[in-house]
Amino acid sequence: MIKKYRSKQIYTAFRWTGDPSQIKAQPWGEEVIRNGHIRFENIGSQDATLLIDSKCGTYTYTVNPGDWIIYGSGCDLSSCKPYFFDKIYEEVP
């Protein structure tokens, strides 16, 4: 019999607008920028992009304005397209 499971972890998340100050305003923002885990490209243009290195350093997430930035335990950062975010996550009251 196959069972269904839901993650018990609580994440914080926000939709990125393309503005670097959104990252800097997060409690973990300055540290991940200083450590090079997050890099910005084409800021101020229509092609603004945020690059997030995975915790293990083997993958780089490309984040576009409108995508969700997800922060989990252990300083784990990732991104998610809005379509998938709405299907995977639900807001915790």
Give the start-to-end residue ranges of the domains of the chain: 12-88
Which pLDDT tens digit goes with each residue over 21-77? 998 898 888 888 888 888 898 988 888 899 998 776 678 889 999 999 988 766 678
Query: Looking at the predicted structure, is the pLDDT value of residue 5 above 70?
Result: no
Say if residue 93's pLDDT is above 80: no
Which residues, 6+ apart, have CB-to-CB distance to 67 below 8 Å? 15, 16, 79, 80, 81, 82
Q: pLDDT confidence of 82, banded at 50, 70, 90?
A: very high
CB 32 within 8 A of CB 77: yes
pLDDT at position 66:
94
**Tokens at 37, concatenated:** 């885990």
pLDDT attached to residue 3: 72
